[in-house]
Structure 1
């Protein structure tokens, strides 16, 4: 049964050039219409996803901090009425650190948000302009200070391995970031995604991505500095003090069920993959006509589920129990992990084994995608 709820808010003030998420810029947003649609979706999913109390609610986007606090409150009230919340429920909202949005923090806290994830992205004004961000460093740090005052848990994102970024520059930037007192950081290497403005600029020769070797050096610096600061990586790009890991994202990585509503949202419930219409107007029309924004609802085979569980679980520092996972999907351990390849990469120091548990080492995380392609049997992912 689902223990987590994801709510997608698709609107942004501006589309960032690196972003391939489902985000849209609209001159006007009818909040009443959106509230009705999201509440309708929530009720429909509750009928299908069971009644277990929620451990996590996550508002993602887009830019959910643009939502009125009254809308956030209405959605949380409905979720509480339907599922109920655990005593330690984590309620996260992604936010941009602009003055326009940070003034809404006190009201969002009162509405029930207890964890915020801020998109700082860089601590250099020139780099923020390159990344297409609307805020500057001074403004973002004021927002961070306000967030620490109003929310019990605060995380923020940084993007590194930017063009021409040196090891010295990233070490100084990350050291500064670690001094701000949050218990969670999401640190992502800049990836040029197809369909983004950055992909076009790279093809046109406007700039070149950082090469693999210097990017790997920055990854090692990231691991070293965060571990020394008591915030080791618990997932490829996520770092936290003990007990401050994102419970919502752990739901994904541990392959547990979750409900996803809103444009473009994905979900997993009882072996069924769900996907909503991405374009806001199409989503609203679908909800109005059918009572749901579902574009696709597809039963997954046991092998597909096992494959997804492997792909997600190997991202975690804690690894996964291969025998337990195999039993969950009616397979053998050899069917979910190539034992010969696992032995090979364990001997090379890229993976580890402890009884039935397997995982990827610090060195292996640098080549995680290649390892997964080797260790997860091809017939499992076909």
Structure 2
């Protein structure tokens, strides 16, 4: 078995954002030495099971990985390179918040080996940032972005749109400003109200009303048109890049390659096995101490479940998926992968395209992706 990508999860944040359902935690203090040894142990456990090709990408996610000391990042990268080896031109990404304190670490993080940074700007409007519960303002964002562009070869940042009462005019102005900064990649997400978040409670209590679905769809179409016109077309439903600037790490997920996930709550795929780490930091540390790894679950995936995951991930991409390759990989006939009647109907409606054995979702189909998937993916796989 071999892994092409490594994900390292740092679970700590200074504050929990009201829209966030990621595995993030606020703690008064963190024992860096203990976390260093524990993450190294988790790395070594996975490396023993995934020897083979060198890594093509490493991604530090969270939480807020820019809170990590650069020396810790450097030691983890050194160990990962020793265990797996690094492919030439490896992509090493770290997620960062644009606070001045974290931006001060960018030079040291670049020296540690990070060559791509993903900034959580989230909005270019101070009122919107306050609504989203962010600790930074726009001025800090722009300073951090300039610092990042000075130190890293590749920079991307996130924005959240379709906020309550968000108008096409306001979003067009905000997105035009974002595009003018010249980064080669943007992640642009519609605000979704996730169960268990503070926003879900606020909506239930009537504190605010989410944007109407039809208005959100208009903003989605506007986003696709503006990014394409600027030379950063959507290569995935929410991700936009200049050709060659796509996130290699995320493509490993969407193309359903094997990847290692270490740290609290991290998921992985290796050799037909699904791995999940303990979610709570304290439970993960206890597991490391007792067993040498942070696994809470490790189970084999059947062919149908793997095929279902590959289809549901791959059809998010503009490039679509190759049915012949999936058929050979999982030993399933094309009719076991897709619903032929559903594909024919979706082709007729202009929601999907087909070129030989390759199939994908069209521009018209992307706004209703979930519905399209329900039509084209074989019922047996959807139930897997």
TM-score range, shorter chain: over 0.9
The alignment's TM-score, normalised by the length of structure 1, stands at: 1.00
Which sections of structure 1, spanning at least 5 residues, go unmatched?
none
Q: Secondary structure at the match of 2:117?
A: strand
Aligned to 1:69: 70
CA contact (8 A) 1:253 1:309 kept: yes
Q: What is the DSSP-based 3-state SS (H/G/I as helix, E as strand, rest coil) of the residue aligned with 1:367? A: helix
Partner-residue secondary structure (3-state), 2:118: strand
Residue 146 (str. 1) matches residue 147 (str. 2): yes
Give the TM-score, by structure 2 length. Answer: 0.99
Contact 1:51–1:82 (8 Å) recurs in 2: no
- Measure how far apart 1:374 and its partner are: 1.6
Corresponding residue number in structure 2 for 1:306:
307
Coordinate RMSD, CA, aligned: 0.5
Deviations 1:104-132 (A, max 9, x none): 00000000000000000000000000000
Could you give the per-residue CA deviations for residues 289-345 of structure 1, whole angstroms, max 9, x where no partner exists? 011100000100000000000000000000010121011000001110111110110
Gaps of 5+ in 2: none
Q: Is the 8 A contact 2:267 2:276 kept in 1?
A: yes
Question: Which aligned pairs between 1:60-209 and structure 2 lie closer than 5 A?
Answer: 60-209=61-210
1:1-382 equivalences under 5 Å are 1-382=2-383
**1:24-83 deviation line (CA, Å, top 9, x unaligned):** 000000010000000001011001112310000000000000000000000000000011
Cα deviation per residue 1:250-271 (whole Å; 9 max; x = unaligned)? Answer: 0000000000000000000000
Q: CA deviation at 1:379?
A: 1.1
Quote the Cα distance in structure 2 between the aligned partners of 1:199 and 1:8.
25
CA distance in 2, matches of 1:380, 1:198: 33
The CA deviation string for residues 130-152 of structure 1, in whole angstroms up to 9 with x for no partner, is: 00000000001000000000000
Which is further off, 299-308 or 372-381? 372-381
Shift of 1:381: 2.6
Structure 1 residues 366-375 or 268-277, which shifts more?
A: 366-375
Alpha-carbon distance in 2 for matches of 1:145, 1:30:
31
CA separation in 2, counterparts of 1:188 and 1:381? 25
Supply the distance in 1 between the matched residues of 2:90 and 2:202 (Cα, whole angstroms). Answer: 42
Q: Secondary structure at the match of 1:264?
A: coil
**Equivalent position SS for 2:120:** strand
Is the contact made by 1:105 and 1:146 (CA closer than 8 Å) also made in structure 2? yes
**2:339/2:379 contact within 8 Å kept:** no
Aligned length in residues? 382
Runs of 4+ in 1 over 6 A off after TM superposition: none
- C-alpha separation between the residues in 2 aligned to 1:376 and 1:312? 12
